[in-house]
Chains A and B, each alone.
Chain A
Amino acid sequence: MTPPGAALRVCLRLRREAFHLDVDLHLPGRGVSALFGPSGCGKTTLLRAVAGLEPGAEGFLQVGDEVWQEGRRGRPPHRRAVGYVFQEASLFSHLDVRANLDYGVRRVPPGRRRVPLQRTVELLGIGHLLQRWPHQLSGGERQRVAIARALAVGPRLLLLDEPLAALDLARKREILPYLESLHDELEIPVIYVSHAPDEVARLADHMVLLQAGRETASGPVGEMLTRLDLPLARGEGAGALIEGRVAGHDDRFELTYVDFAGGRFTVARNDMASGHPVRLRVAARDVSLTLERQRGTSILNIFPARVEQLVPEGRAKMMVRLSVQGVPLLSSLTRKSADALALAPGRSVYAQVKSVAVL
């Protein structure tokens, strides 16, 4: 027997003329699971099937202790405690912001856990917009209202379908902090559809890779981003994701220390309190390798590491997966350098990290 709120089992099949969706996923009952894959791989269709918007879907769908789909029989969408945020903010144009938020709240069945509307309004920072009409809002504001509206019904599962895809870079930057605070505050699982690796790196804990309607791999996001057998760990954007905590600040040089399982990073000062969890993104192209610890170098972040795996990248380059006391790191270097250092699995090296992004 699964304890309430424990896990998500998504075993769904859907036949379409063009493609078949056929997945069997076990997702964590907390945190953000990203569905990742190219356009047309079935991410959105899967999300819609979970919400009950695809009548042809069949299989088994369990959310905590509730079964939403068994065989061909599924609960209709309005009887699933789900929050759904569509790609383009779909606010009701005939209702103002306040009435848009109330629409779902008024229909919450008695007995379901309620989220005080005030709290979601504060979480998304839309208190000053309540009297406005959808056409008076910017794209980012509309999407924030849509997220608040979905949360206000007290869902057991939040589904986000590329909520940032329709927005320009500035609007994305405006919304991302709100999504991050959701990630920290929500006790319900979130399924997040995306094809942008940087969003996934910032927001997701767990990741499912979809290809042509099937799951090709899944696991914790830090692991998935550094698996050399997956496309994520290849190419220009490849890099490792490191979970750490703020250990303290250096007032003299305006720096912040971040401790992680493999050591301590020194980064430019931020205003987070000690103990605050942070995510660091270390791009593969910013990591170089040496056989001995360099002295007289300007690089602050140097870690002893062990080579785990090497894979050629194109003709001239190699992608190297390293382990810094169990924490994976990627390094992109030329085949010539790999040869000169005689890199092979098991070899001990020093990883020099030229730059780190705090997410």
Chain B
Amino acid sequence: MPVDGDLTALRITLQLAALTTLILLLLGTPLAWWLARSRWRWRFLVEAVIALPLVLPPTVVGFYLLITLGSNGPVGGLLEALGGRPLAFTFGGLVVGSVIYSLPFVVQPLQGAFAAIGRRPLEVAATLGASPLDRFFTVAVPLARPGFLTATVLGFAHTVGEFGVVLMIGGNIPGETQVLSIAIYDHVEALEYTRAHWISGSLLLLSFLLLLTVYGFNRRAAKVRS
């Protein structure tokens, strides 16, 4: 049976994933739109930077974040000077780390979806009197809906499954920064296999259901389009 500590970790995990996904959709949508439409010759540089978390060990990302966000780092120091507290080992720090680490999982599906629309529907909308912003919200976003679903689910699920970054930047503070993946690690270390089973099994099921939803929906959308 799940116990209180695990439920708290679950709550923190879900809060973290939801907040991260929300921020990523808000940041990632304009970024993906720009990447899909821009003809800037150095665009590939931006794409490479965004893709970095895909190849780097999470501990590397976490390490640099810890350096940057800690009290001696530039961002952490600035926050401290402004009367705040450094982000390292806080929930806020987890959010920042997760946003950076899950960025490609949100931007890439969105970029692909926007690129797949092509210019034509937007040109049609323009000749029908729609301004650029109007075209974006009434044509580009609805047509990229499968991309938004994929981006949301991948961003959410990837944040839930994160370990290395969270451990580096958040530490393992129960009730504040301890998420499920770390709780599992703790239980295994303490040889509490039953509790590890409970959490692991639940995460496996949840992830599978999420992916099932995405692939099922996108398959239907593809059918309608062709």
Contact residues, A67-93 vs B (CB, 8 A): 76-80, 82-84, 86, 90, 92-93
Stretch at the interface among B40-48, B69-77, B122-130: B122-130
Query: A231 to chain B: which residues have CB within 8 Å?
Result: none
B115 at interface by CB-CB < 8 Å: no
Judge whether A90 and B124 touch: CB under 8 Å. Answer: yes
B143 at interface by CB-CB < 8 Å: yes
Judge whether B120 and A78 touch: CB under 8 Å. Answer: no
Judge whether A84 and B139 touch: CB under 8 Å. Answer: no
CA distance A347 to B199 in the complex (A): 102
Q: Among the listed B123, B129, B143, which residue makes an inter-chain contact with A104, where contact means beta carbons less than 8 Å apart?
A: B129
Q: Chain A interface residue count: which class?
A: 20 to 34
Judge whether A92 and B130 touch: CB under 8 Å. Answer: no
A320 at interface by CB-CB < 8 Å: no
Judge whether A90 and B126 touch: CB under 8 Å. Answer: no
CA distance A248 to B104 in the complex (A): 74
A282 at interface by CB-CB < 8 Å: no
Query: B225 to chain A: which residues have CB within 8 Å?
Result: 93, 135
Q: Among the listed B121, B131, B143, which residue makes an inter-chain contact with A78, where contact means beta carbons less than 8 Å apart?
A: B131
**Binary per-residue interface labels of chain B (98-137) against chain A in the complex, 1 for a CB within 8 Å, 0 otherwise:** 0000000000000000000000110111111111101100
Query: B145 to chain A: which residues have CB within 8 Å?
Result: 94
A167 at interface by CB-CB < 8 Å: no
Judge whether A104 and B128 touch: CB under 8 Å. Answer: yes
Judge whether B127 and A77 touch: CB under 8 Å. Answer: yes
B224 at interface by CB-CB < 8 Å: yes
**Binary per-residue interface labels of chain A (130-144) against chain B in the complex, 1 for a CB within 8 Å, 0 otherwise:** 000101000000000
- List 8 A-B pairs, Cβ < 8 Å: A51-B127, A53-B123, A77-B126, A78-B131, A78-B132, A84-B127, A90-B123, A93-B224
Going nearest first, the 7 A-B pairs with the smallest beta carbon separation are A107-B129, A104-B128, A84-B127, A77-B126, A94-B142, A90-B124, A90-B120
Binding site for A on B (CB under 8 A): 120-121, 123-132, 134-135, 138-139, 142-143, 145, 224-226
Binding site for B on A (CB under 8 A): 51-53, 76-80, 82-84, 86, 90, 92-94, 103-104, 107-109, 133, 135, 149-150, 153
